[in-house]
Amino acid sequence: MEKMEKIDSYPFYVEPFHVDMSGRIFMGILGNHLLNAAGNHSQRRGWGIGALNESQHTWVLSRLSIEMEEMPRQYEHAEVRTWVESVIKLFTNRNFAILRPDGTPYGYARSIWAMIDVNTRKPCDLLSLYDGDIVRYVVSPEENVCPIEGHGRFRFRNAELVRTIETYYSDIDINGHVNSIKYIEHILDLFPREKFTGQGIRRFEIAYKTEAYMGDRLNFYLQPVDENEFDVEVRKNESETVCQAKICFK
Amino acid sequence: MEKMEKIDSYPFYVEPFHVDMSGRIFMGILGNHLLNAAGNHSQRRGWGIGALNESQHTWVLSRLSIEMEEMPRQYEHAEVRTWVESVIKLFTNRNFAILRPDGTPYGYARSIWAMIDVNTRKPCDLLSLYDGDIVRYVVSPEENVCPIEGHGRFRFRNAELVRTIETYYSDIDINGHVNSIKYIEHILDLFPREKFTGQGIRRFEIAYKTEAYMGDRLNFYLQPVDENEFDVEVRKNESETVCQAKICFK
């Protein structure tokens, strides 16, 4: 199979309401474009959500790390390219390049996905699903490079509770869960405007641990690593970790 | 000029993260599509934000009323048609039809816009701008019908303070204002999930009065009209009205 048949292109345009006060696309909106690109790529190859639901399976996003040299700005046209880098039984690594019309990169992203059985909520062996069809689409790092660091580890030692929010209607997706993109919004809302009017974000990482639901109260714990790097842990019901994130400003 | 040259089509697709727990598009996302359609329509005719900024003018949305027989659902393709219904010196009435691929309507919307001088923030005479070019694009109600009621009047008599929120980074647009779409989200977040898992919203109206900024504390006052109709007033600094909305559930 040709390399290009394994890689998909998802074009997007930076709409006025999708940019922040500095004119750069919101990280959450960019994340949404990445997830759409991933969804389309799977769909076209026969293992999208629709096909999976019939077989009682669904994709679950576990990690997403986005690293940007520059964020696309209002009215700019850009493109997401996405491909599967590897499949390891219960997980697949999917990469992304975010490109300008001339092919130069705004940045890159990495993600990890599991496939679960919708009834048991347990992960499935990806290599056995559809006779391992997904392996045919793997594009190795040698074939297509994703030149950003892998997902890091989180260690929360002295994180401080900085905000508590209720979850409302617009936080919730069709599955009744707080939607993956809304966490990104709420996490970035912890920071003062000066962090965004300057150079902006260099790298954003998030690890999704447990689902939260409408009405759950979310506690946000902030742990500064240094002047420009911050770890955030989101917990529900006082103790259960919902997700963890790392924000590196430039 | 042909009628169709005066009307623009803006196609959209209902993305997974753009639907609520019932699988219907969020009203705020639909509103964003309408504003994009309006922006494109103006842009193509030479009086879009870009051209206007050079002449130190900009469009300001004053009213938006959306009435839907049915909301588009996840994975559906739809189209916004938009046209200018009338121009009255300081205001223009712009209408929208939200259509299925077969041309049948999901619903309609009406809006009112003013053009202001970016320095004085005062409204401009639309009939004199660009020698009244905008008038050439008017499509009268006889030519193209928008079969929904006009914008109503608000009367707040016994509204009750039901929520106070701080405004954060993701609320703010490139102009430093709380963005028009975020108000719709925050207003609908006042209602319990049962209001949305049932029949959903029939009509949503909003009147924008004053801008709010990052750090402003917004107070939400709720006034039930009857079991399915609610008025909401948003105020900042205790007293100043930022916007008013009416929500009619089915």
pLDDT tens-digit map of B137-185 = 899 898 899 999 999 999 999 999 999 999 999 999 999 999 999 999 9
Give the minimum alpha-carbon distance from A77 to chain B in angstroms, rounded to a whole number: 15
Which of B169, B187, B214 best probes binding to A when mutated, by most A CB atoms within 10 angstroms? B169
pLDDT at A51: 65
Same structural domain for residues A57 and A166? no
Mean pLDDT, residues B199-220 taken together: 96
Domain boundary among A81, A104, A137: A137
Instruction: For B93-149, give the DSSP string.
Output: EEEEEEE-TTS-EEEEEEEEEEEEETTT--B--TTTGGGGGGGGGB--TTTS---S-
Instruction: For A182-246, give the DSSP string.
Output: HHHHHHHTTS-THHHHTT-EEEEEEEE-S--BTT-EEEEEEEEEETTEEEEEEEETTTEEEEEEE
| Identity of the residue numbered B62 | S
| Identity of the residue numbered B114 | A
Same structural domain for residues A166 and A112? no
Same structural domain for residues B23 and B117? yes
Interatomic CA distance for residues A146 and A249, integer angstroms: 21
Q: pLDDT above 90 covers what percent of chain B?
A: 76
Domain boundary among A82, A103, A137: A137
DSSP bridge pairs for A244: A207, A233
Provide the 3-class DSSP secondary structure of residue A175: coil
For tokens 């588009």, name the residue. B72
Residue A9 counted as domain residue: yes
DSSP bridge pairs for A52: none
pLDDT at A117: 87
pLDDT at B117: 87
- Is the confidence at residue B124, as pLDDT, over 90? no
B81 with B8: CB under 8 angstroms?
A: yes
Q: Give the nearest partner residue to B174 out of A23, A28, A179, using CB atoms.
A: A23
CB B172 to CB A16 under 8 A?
no
Same structural domain for residues A25 and A58? yes
Residue A143 counted as domain residue: no
Residue B35 counted as domain residue: yes
Same structural domain for residues A188 and A89? no
B59 with B52: CB under 8 angstroms?
A: yes
Same structural domain for residues A121 and A172? no
Residue B148 counted as domain residue: no
| Identity of the residue numbered A65 | S
Residue A36 counted as domain residue: yes
pLDDT at A4: 64
- Is the confidence at residue B53, as pLDDT, over 70? no
Task: Determine the structural domain holding residue B210 and report its residue range.
Answer: 160-249
Same structural domain for residues B27 and B100? yes
Same structural domain for residues A197 and A119? no
CB atoms within 10 A of CB B135: 14
Please return the burial class of A179, using the count of CB atoms within 10 Å of its CB with bins 0-12, 13-18 and 19+. buried
Interatomic CA distance for residues B228 and B160, integer angstroms: 17
Indicate if ipTM > 0.85: yes
Q: List pLDDT tens digits, range B26-42.
A: 999 999 999 999 999 99
Same structural domain for residues A115 and A169? no
B15 with A36: CB under 8 angstroms?
A: yes
Interatomic CA distance for residues B5 and A246, integer angstroms: 50
Provide the 3-class DSSP secondary structure of residue A66: strand
Interatomic CA distance for residues A209 and A218, integer angstroms: 14
Nearest Cα to Cα of residue A19 among B128, B169, B6: B169
pLDDT at B29: 98
Give the minimum alpha-carbon distance from B71 to chain A in angstroms, rounded to a whole number: 14
For tokens 């599991």, name the residue. A114
For tokens 């719709």, name the residue. B184
CA distance to A50, A72, B32, per residue, from A178 (Å): 20, 26, 21
**Chain B residues lying within 8 Å of A214, measured CB to CB:** 21, 193
Domain boundary among A137, A171, A192: A137
For tokens 């500095």, name the residue. A22
Total of domains in chain B: 2
Q: Which residues of A touch B (CB under 8 A)?
A: 15-17, 19-23, 26, 28, 32, 35-36, 39, 49-50, 74-75, 168-170, 172-174, 176, 179-181, 185, 188-189, 191, 193, 196, 214
B232 with B188: CB under 8 angstroms?
A: no
The band of B1, judged by pLDDT with boundaries at 50, 70 and 90, is low
Interatomic CA distance for residues B38 and A71, integer angstroms: 25
Same structural domain for residues A113 and A199? no
Same structural domain for residues B98 and B181? no
Please return the burial class of A48, using the count of CB atoms within 10 Å of its CB with bins 0-12, 13-18 and 19+. middle
Residue A185 counted as domain residue: yes
Q: Give the nearest partner residue to A172 out of B20, B39, B191, using CB atoms.
A: B20
Residue A145 counted as domain residue: no
Residue B146 counted as domain residue: no
pLDDT at B131: 77
pLDDT at B136: 87
Interatomic CA distance for residues A7 and A18, integer angstroms: 26
CATH of the domain at A81: 3.10.129.10
**Chain A residues lying within 8 Å of B168, measured CB to CB:** 189
Same structural domain for residues A232 and A110? no
A88-92, B81-85, B225-229: least confident range: A88-92
- Per-residue pLDDT for chain A (250 aa), expressed as one digit of tens each? 676 689 999 999 999 999 999 999 999 999 999 999 999 999 888 876 666 666 788 889 999 999 999 999 999 999 999 999 999 888 999 999 999 999 999 999 999 999 888 889 898 888 887 777 888 899 989 889 999 999 999 999 999 999 999 999 999 999 999 999 999 999 999 999 999 998 899 999 999 999 999 999 999 999 999 999 999 999 998 789 999 999 999 9
pLDDT at A46: 81
